[in-house]
Amino acid sequence: MDCVFCKIAKGEIPAKVVYEDDEVISFYDINPKAPVHVLVIPKRHFTNLMEEIPPPVASAILRGIRETVKKLGVRDYRVISNNGRGAGQEVFHLHFHVIAGITISPATV
């Protein structure tokens, strides 16, 4: 499958990795919209939240967000997931924007 985030998960294309474990990887957004803008993704491919996410994967994502935020050293942050083209989803591999540093409208992410 030609999916940029699957390729990042497999190490086939480079990314500035913040946190990684067996199920999850996080890396800096290539086009940051805030001083801190990191993407947390499951390594397994899911299109978005409309696919059934097995509970262990959902739990791993939440852990990945926590561990990412700890590594970043930020205290307050937002988590945003765009689901569907109309909501601004451009990469159709489930991902969560972790954003800190400024207040922005979710619609601009």
Active site (catalytic) residues: 95
Phi, psi (deg, nearest 5) at residue 55: -50, -40
Positions in 74-93 near ligand AMP (CB under 6 A): 82, 88-91
Closest alpha carbon to 101 in 39, 32, 41: 32
Tokens 């990314």, residue located: 15
Residue 4 binds ligand AMP (CB under 6 A):
yes
Query: What is the amino acid identity at position 103?
Result: T
- In sign, the C-alpha dihedral spanning 43, 48, 49, 53 is negative
Query: What is the amino acid identity at position 21?
Result: D
Residue 23-62 contact track with Zn ion, rule CB under 5 A, x = bound? ----------------------x-----------------
Residue 26 binds ligand AMP (CB under 6 A):
no
Tokens 């299109």, residue located: 47
Q: Which is nearer to ligand AMP, 14 or 55 (CB)?
A: 14
Q: Which is nearer to ligand AMP, 60 or 97 (CB)?
A: 97
Q: Which is nearer to Zn ion, 37 or 93 (CB)?
A: 93
* Footprint of Zn ion (CB under 5 A): 3, 5-6, 45, 93
